[in-house]
Amino acid sequence: MLEKTIDDIHDIDDGIAENNDNNKVTQNMPLLENITTPADFKGLSREQLPRLAEQIRERIIQVVSKNGGHLASSLGAVELTLAIHYVFDLPADTLIWDVGHQAYAHKLITGRNRQFDTLRQYKGLSGFSRIKENSCDGFTVGHSSTSISAGLGICCAKYLNQDDSHVISVIGDGSMTAGLAYEGLNQAGDLKRKLIVILNDNDMSISRNVGALSSYLSRTFSAKYLQTMRNQFGAFLKSLPRIGEDMYKIAKRSEESFKTFVTPGMLFEAFNFDYFGPINGHNLDHLIDILDNIKNAADSPVLLHVTTVKGKGYAPAEKNPIYFHGVGSFVVDTGKTSRCPREIPSYTQVFGEQMVQLGKSFPSLVAVTAAMPEGTGLKDFSSQYPDRFFDVGIAEQHAVTFSAGLAVKGIRPVVTIYSTFLQRAYDQILHDVCIDAHPVIFALDRGGIVGEDGPTHHGLFDFAYLRPMPNMTVMAPADENELARMLKTAILHDGPIALRYPRGSAEGVPVADPVLPLEIGKGTVVCDGDDLLIIAIGRGVAEALKARAQLASEGIFAAVVNARFVKPLDEDLLLAKAGECKKIITVEEHVLAGGFGSAVLEMFMDKGLTDLCIKRIGIDDCFVEHGPQDVLRKAYKIDVDAVAKAGRELYGQR
């Protein structure tokens, strides 16, 4: 099932003979299970590494097929991981994985093989690298394009501490679309510290100019003696009276012109990085050789460009790397999902369907996303309206300001980004959209608890960072019908507006036809009751209704209000209901600080209602770990049982 891991596309000298019995025995030895520390790995010979790569791929596929995870990226980076660990000495040297999608092999050879079955499970291994999980994890990651900036910071700290060890930042070609990566490159080139950046190009998005010649030249140019000669010759030319500086510039341009002919390195040379590549990222011998050269010669920033195949060694993932980028459980033999088909559509699916439908009626409607057309449900919209769909890459800040520009000229942009990633564009929302009240629509997918991706991915802060912005309207649907209505409301609204909806299945409520817009700032009473008042928003409405049923069976009757809007609140409705019952619970899948419950409390205090007894259900002042959504909701006390318990406690107070 698994393909061999040695890529022989252009490596004519790369064959490893396996014709004698000793080599066959070596190939069949169990290597991975004997690696409990990085030191165990360092004891292997080069000849054993291809077999280890094979065993690592088998282990990754085995676990991810059960737990889900980022499969394709991790399979593609196996040889690169082994080469880095073989050359450098972790944790003395520091390795940073950008985002962390490709870090599974790294986990396996740094003492976490025996715990690997707990990957992405509650209280198990994180799906990303985290400082507190292992000393070989150089930086806690999860969001894109941070590795160069973090690596440079660590590099400078080591310099100040007189620490001569190395810093290696591995970044993917997708992450190179974000401005933060270039900000890091810019300062690194200016400071000229000993930073090694490895560009893992697994989509050939920068250049297709990969071949034996460029691989050979990169390995040759990186040799220490040639680097020394190059620097000495440059110094000699500069020292020549009157003509030295001009001669040096001519020589430099000649070298750069030649390298540009066979490599795409001029961009990085412009940042004062020594560039080597592209080189085949599945050729262990070549990778080890060039990393050895760079390690011994690098006294200034270096960028090594390697090309890899996403999903390498597992045919279904190689064929469909987008699907296997972040995948749920699947059957290894076929690559098909092992989960039962979803009877109820997800909120993301409903959103995507409504965008297609609304696109017919609103020709000014466009969709903007940051490298997530599939994940945000916009695939069909992009197919049907290609001229009205914009994927800006991993560049959330640009996405927002770009959308503000569209809105200035009468276009209705829907900026569709996961809640956690929109945090990266806080200033652009405030400065470029809200100050002039441009009608930009923010569709925040994955609002609330996301699940196995953990604290870097939960969308638990959006109410708090959007609510204080003047001119901004914030709403959250209780079900898929409200999602459809809110999207239409947003298109008709003449100002900045955000709708936030959760990951996973919706509530099974049919979407009405026709879809009618909502009145801005108006909630609705779902159930009446005299003993308690539960005010809920978004997914919290479903938990509130379940809790009401529990309480009703105990003789406690609660009114339930679906607020619909975080900003503006339906003050008239909430004040009237609070006048009827002074025991109030607010429910939200969001942090308590600055969230929906805080907005309700502020409103009551501003209106002089100081005799209320209020309990807020939400996330305390902490980061939520990774695990299944329902497990996390229970663990962090925002599920139906938590709401019902709060109701009993309030009802029992006199």
- Quick one: how far is CA 215 from the chain centroid? 31
Query: 601-633 burial, b for 16+ CB within 10 Å, e for fewer?
Result: bebbeeeebeebebbbbbbeeeebbbbebebbb
Buried/exposed code over 235-251 (b: 16+ C-beta within 10 A; e: otherwise): eebeeeeeeeeeebeee
Q: Quick one: how far is CA 373 from the chain centroid?
A: 14
Q: Which residue is listed with tokens 């360092």?
A: 42
DSSP assignment of 482-535, as one string? HHHHHHHHHHH-SS-EEEE--SSB---PPPPSSPPPPPTT--EEEE--SSEEEE
> Which of 408, 448, 401, 406 is CA-nearest to residue 427?
401
- Please state, in angstroms and rounded to a whole number, the distance separating the CA atoms of residues 395 and 372: 11
How far are the Cα atoms of 221, 370, 443 from residue 425, in angstroms, in the given order?
A: 40, 11, 14
Report the C-alpha gap between 600 and 283 in whole angstroms: 60
Which residues, in sequence order, are CB contacts of 407 under 8 Å at separation 6+? 413, 433, 438, 439, 440
Q: Is 10 strand, coil or helix?
A: coil
Question: Which residues have C-beta within 8 Å of that of residue 363, sequence separation ≥ 6?
Answer: none
Residue whose entry in the numeric block shows the structure tokens 């569209």: 406
With 0-12 CB in 10 A as exposed, 13-18 as middle and 19+ as buried, what is 175? buried
DSSP state of 156: H
Q: The sheet that has 524-527: what strands, in order across it?
A: 524-527, 558-562, 532-536, 583-591, 613-619
Two structure tokens written together for 146: 């941070």
HEC sequence for 239-252: HCCCCHHHHHHHHH
Half-sphere exposure of 279 (CA within 13 A, CB side): 28
CA dist., res. 139 & res. 131, Å (int): 5
SS3 456: coil
DSSP code of residue 374: T
Give bridge partners of residue 327 from the DSSP assignment: 69
Under a CB-based contact definition with an 8 Å cutoff, are residues 54 and 82 in contact? no
**Cis geometry, peptide bond prior to residue 568 (ω within 30 degrees of 0):** yes
Which are the contacts of 399, defined by CB distance < 8 A and separation ≥ 6? 368, 369, 370, 392, 415, 417, 425
Q: Which residues are catalytic?
A: 310, 396, 424
Q: Which residues contact 144 (CB under 8 A, 6 or more apart)?
A: 98, 99, 174, 175, 178, 394
Distance of alpha carbon 441 from alpha carbon 351, whole angstroms: 13
CB atoms within 10 A of CB 362: 14
